[in-house]
Amino acid sequence: MDRKEKSLTGTLIFTVSTAVLGSLQFGYGIGVINAPQKIIEHHYARKLGLVIMQKSGNMTEDYVPSTVTMYWSLSVSVFSIGGLVSSLFVGWIADKLGRIKATMVVNSLAVIGALLMGLAPLGQAHALVIAGRLITGLYCGLIAGLVPIYIGEVSPTALRGALGTLHQLGIVTGILISQVVGLEFLLGSDKLWPVLLGLSGVPAVIQTVLLFFCPESPRYVFINLGREEAAKSILKKLRGDYYDPSKDLEEMRREKEEAASEKKVSIIQLFKSSNYRQPILVSLVLHMSQQFSGINGIFYYSTSIFTKAGISQPIYATIGVGAVNTVATIVSVFLVEKAGRRSLYIIGLAGMCICAIIMTIALALLSSHAGMSYLCMVAIFLFVVFFEVGPGPIPWFIVAELFSQGPRPAAMAVSGFCNWSCNFIIGMCFQYIADACGPYVFIIFAVLLLGFTIFTYFKVPETKGKSFEEISAEFRKKKHGGKKSTEMEYLGTSSEA
Ligand X SMILES: OC[C@H]1O[C@](O)(CO)[C@@H](O)[C@@H]1O
Shortest Cβ distance from residue 326 to ligand X (Å)? Answer: 9
Query: Counting Cβ atoms within 10 Å, is residue 339 exposed (0-12), middle (13-18) or buried (19+)?
Result: middle
Q: Which of 112, 295, 305, 411 is the binder for ligand X (CB under 6 A)? A: 295
Q: How far is the CB of 147 from ligand X (least distance, A)?
A: 11
Contact 146, 310 (CB under 8 A): no
Q: How many residues sit close enough to ligand X to count as binding (CB under 6 A)?
A: 11
Instruction: Note whether 87 binds ligand X by CB under 6 A.
Output: no
Measured from the CB atom, the residue of 43 and 287 that comes closer to ligand X is 287
Which CB sits closer to ligand X, 278 or 291?
Answer: 291
Q: How far is the CB of 293 from ligand X (least distance, A)?
A: 8
Query: What residues contact 65, with CB distance under 8 A and at least 6 apart?
Result: 45, 50, 51, 52
- CA pair distance 284, 269, nearest whole angstrom: 16
Residue 325 sits in the site that holds ligand X (CB under 6 A): yes
Question: Mask: binding to ligand X, 171-200, rule CB under 6 A, as x and -?
Answer: xx----------------------------
User: Residue 207 or 325: which CB sits closer to ligand X?
Assistant: 325
User: Which of 34, 87, 302, 423 is the binder for ligand X (CB under 6 A)?
Assistant: 423
290 binding ligand X? (CB under 6 A): yes
Distance CA 205, CA 227 (A): 29
Tell me which DSSP letter residue 53 carries.
E
Q: Does 397 bind ligand X (CB under 6 A)?
A: no
Q: Is 86 an interacting residue with respect to ligand X (CB under 6 A)? A: no
**CA 330 to CA 328: how far, in whole Å?**
5
Q: With respect to ligand X, which residue has the nearer C-beta, 128 or 377? A: 377
Contact 151, 401 (CB under 8 A): no
For the CB of residue 487, give the shortest distance to ligand X in the complex, in Å.
Answer: 24
Task: Return the residue of 178, 296, 467, 495 that touches ligand X, per CB under 6 A.
Answer: 296
Residues in 4-63 at the binding interface with ligand X, rule: CB under 6 A: 30
Nearer to ligand X, 30 or 128 (CB): 30
Choice between 100 and 171, CB closer to ligand X: 171
Phi-psi domain of 480 (left: phi exceeds 0; alpha: psi -120 through 50; beta: other): alpha
Which residue stretch of 224-232, 252-260, 290-298, 354-362 sits at the interface with ligand X (rule: CB under 6 A)? 290-298
Distances (CA, A) of 196 to 3, 41, 442: 45, 15, 32
H or E element, residue 159: none
CB of 429 to ligand X, least distance (A): 15
For the CA atoms of 197, 200, 205, 210, what is the dihedral angle to 10 degrees? 160
CA-closest candidate to residue 41, choices 82, 81, 73, 77: 73
Q: Within 10 Å of residue 316's Cβ, how many Cβ atoms? A: 14
Closest by alpha carbon to 247, among 1, 474, 495, 14? 1
Q: Which is nearer to ligand X, 275 or 296 (CB)?
A: 296
Q: Segment near ligand X (CB under 6 A), from 165-173, 190-198, 228-236, 401-409?
A: 165-173
168 near ligand X, judged by CB under 6 A: yes
Beta carbon of residue 325, minimum distance to ligand X (angstroms, whole number):
5
Report in angstroms how near the CB of residue 454 gets to ligand X at its nearest. Answer: 21
Helices marked H in 35-65 — which ranges?
37-48
DSSP state of 108: H
How many CA atoms, within 13 angstroms, populate the side-chain half-sphere of residue 305?
A: 31
Kindly state whether residue 392 participates in binding ligand X, applying the rule CB under 6 A: yes
Interior/surface letters 164-197, b for 16+ CB within 10 angstroms, e for the rest: bbbbbbbbbbbbbbbbbbbbeeebbeeebbbebb
Q: Which of 89, 220, 243, 299: binder of ligand X (CB under 6 A)?
A: 299
Under rule CB under 6 A, residue 289 binds ligand X: no
The reply on whether position 292 binds ligand X by CB under 6 A is: no
Residues found near ligand X in the complex (CB under 6 A): 30, 168, 171-172, 290, 295-296, 299, 325, 392, 423
